[in-house]
Amino acid sequence: MVDVLVTGGAGFIGSNFVRYALATHADWRITTLDKLTYAGRRENLHDVMDNPRHAFVHGDIGDAAVSGPLVEKAAIVVHFAAETHVDRSILAAGEFIRTDVEGTFVLLEAARRAAGLTRFVQISTDEVYGSVASGASRETDELKPRNPYSASKAGADRLAYSYWATYDVPVIVTRASNNYGPYQFPEKVIPLFVTNAIDDIPVPLYGDGRNVRDWLHVDDHCRAIDLLIEQGTSGEVYNIGGGNDVMNVDLTHRILDGLRKPASLIKPVADRPGHDRRYCVDTTKLRGLGWQPQVPFEDGLRDTIEWYRRNEWWWRPIKENDPAFKAYYQAQYGRTT
């Protein structure tokens, strides 16, 4: 059996990856390490909690006494755990530095001692490149992060690389574009807009709505990580992008159309400070290994909308019963509904 440690496995991408990996690799024994912050939820793993090849550990990556032994016995570490929401990083950056930078440092120190470790996948983001006015970021491009989230991720990205260059830790860095799919916390634009629109609550579109993101279905992301675990080269960085560059205003119309809701639900609101205009990654390197996205955006978005429509059990408790979510919504949008 192959021991795989997934940090942040109770979050959006991590939980999709755990589910995917259990189904794909009969010889993997997965341990999820997750602090269960506001974004991490046992519900995200509800169907794999009892799987005999999966163990769940409730703990902080930054707690060396907990995370160290788990890293030391792993053959593969896939490190998703992070604070991830740009708007929250603008409201308060401390947890981003503690988890994304210092927490990654704690894992990397343990990785130096991990005798059987063959892969340490540092899940970075295309946001480390900063805003790209035209063209597509290549892995060799300069990093110019412009908000506390992307800056903390850039710190972790380069720290992980340095542990390969200095200590020969078998690190691979992945920089994926915006993910979408089931189990995404309803603070990010797609689940927020879908769930607001279901309830006829206005959708707050930042600025002129002309910012561009490249949407990657989470299943395509999982397939890319899996391929890189098998075929990537240590010390290398790999972009992962869906090739679906969409302006926010167009995305919003597609969501409203998909739910048969009126465009009058769009509420233009003040822009995010330092709002990156556009992200776009060149995925030639990853495609050279045989990967290509399999989920057309139209299908993926339709299925994602349908998932939120059918799984109110999952998101209603967050939006309606969680005082922390209401407090965040109030702080971010100046309203409680």
Binding site for ligand TYD (CB under 6 A): 86, 178, 188-189, 192, 204-206, 211, 213, 248, 272
Structure tokens at 191: 């689940």
Positive/negative CA dihedral, 288, 294, 297, 301: negative
In the bound state with ligand NAD, the residue whose beta carbon lies nearer, of 96 and 164, is 96
10 Å Cβ neighbour count for 115?
A: 6
Whole-number Å distance between alpha carbons of 325 and 187: 9
Q: Is 219 one of the annotated active-site residues of the chain? A: no
Q: Is 126 one of the annotated active-site residues of the chain? A: yes
304 part of the interface to ligand NAD, by CB under 6 A: no
Subset of residues 7 to 26 that bind ligand NAD, contact rule: CB under 6 A: 7-8, 10-14
Q: How many residues does the chain have?
A: 337
Q: How far is the CB of 21 from ligand NAD (least distance, A)?
A: 14
SS3 32: strand
84 part of the interface to ligand NAD, by CB under 6 A: yes
Catalytic-role residue among 126, 187, 226, 276: 126
Question: Among residues 89, 104, 125, 239, which is the contact residue for ligand NAD, using CB under 6 A?
Answer: 125
129 part of the interface to ligand NAD, by CB under 6 A: no
Q: How far is the CB of 125 from ligand NAD (least distance, A)?
A: 4
Q: How far is the CB of 83 from ligand TYD (least distance, A)?
A: 12
Residue 60: name its binding partner from ligand TYD, ligand NAD, none (Cβ under 5 to 8 Å by kind). Answer: ligand NAD
In the bound state with ligand NAD, the residue whose beta carbon lies nearer, of 62 and 232, is 62
Whole-number Å distance between alpha carbons of 8 and 82: 7
What residues pair up with 133 in beta bridges, in sequence order? Answer: none
Which residues, 6+ apart, have CB-to-CB distance to 65 below 8 Å? none
Residue 238: name its binding partner from ligand TYD, ligand NAD, none (Cβ under 5 to 8 Å by kind). Answer: none
Catalytic-role residue among 83, 127, 187, 214: 127
In terms of DSSP H, where are the helices of 232-275?
A: 248-258
220 part of the interface to ligand NAD, by CB under 6 A: no
Q: How far is the CB of 201 from ligand TYD (least distance, A)?
A: 12
Nearest Cα neighbor of 71 from 17, 136, 19, 120 is 120
Question: Which contacts (CB < 8 Å, 24+ apart) does range 101-105 have?
Answer: 101/152, 101/155, 101/156, 101/159, 102/62, 103/60, 103/61, 103/62, 104/61, 104/79, 104/156, 104/159, 104/160, 105/159
Question: Among residues 25, 35, 217, 223, which is the contact residue for ligand NAD, using CB under 6 A?
Answer: 35
Q: How far is the CB of 89 from ligand TYD (least distance, A)?
A: 10
Whole-number Å distance between alpha carbons of 297 and 190: 13
Q: How far is the CB of 67 from ligand NAD (least distance, A)?
A: 8
10 Å Cβ neighbour count for 164?
A: 20
Residue 35: name its binding partner from ligand NAD, ligand TYD, none (Cβ under 5 to 8 Å by kind). Answer: ligand NAD
Whole-number Å distance between alpha carbons of 215 and 179: 6
Q: How far is the CB of 262 from ligand NAD (least distance, A)?
A: 28
DSSP string, 182-223: TT--TTSHHHHHHHHHHTT--EEEETTS--EEEEEEHHHHHH
Q: Is 149 one of the annotated active-site residues of the chain? A: yes
Site string for ligand NAD, 138-177 (x = CB under 6 A): ---------------x----------------------x-
Residue 77: name its binding partner from ligand NAD, ligand TYD, none (Cβ under 5 to 8 Å by kind). Answer: none
Catalytic residues: 126-127, 149
Binding residues for ligand NAD, rule: CB under 6 A, are: 7-8, 10-14, 33-37, 39-40, 60-62, 80-84, 99, 103, 123, 125, 153, 176, 178-179, 185
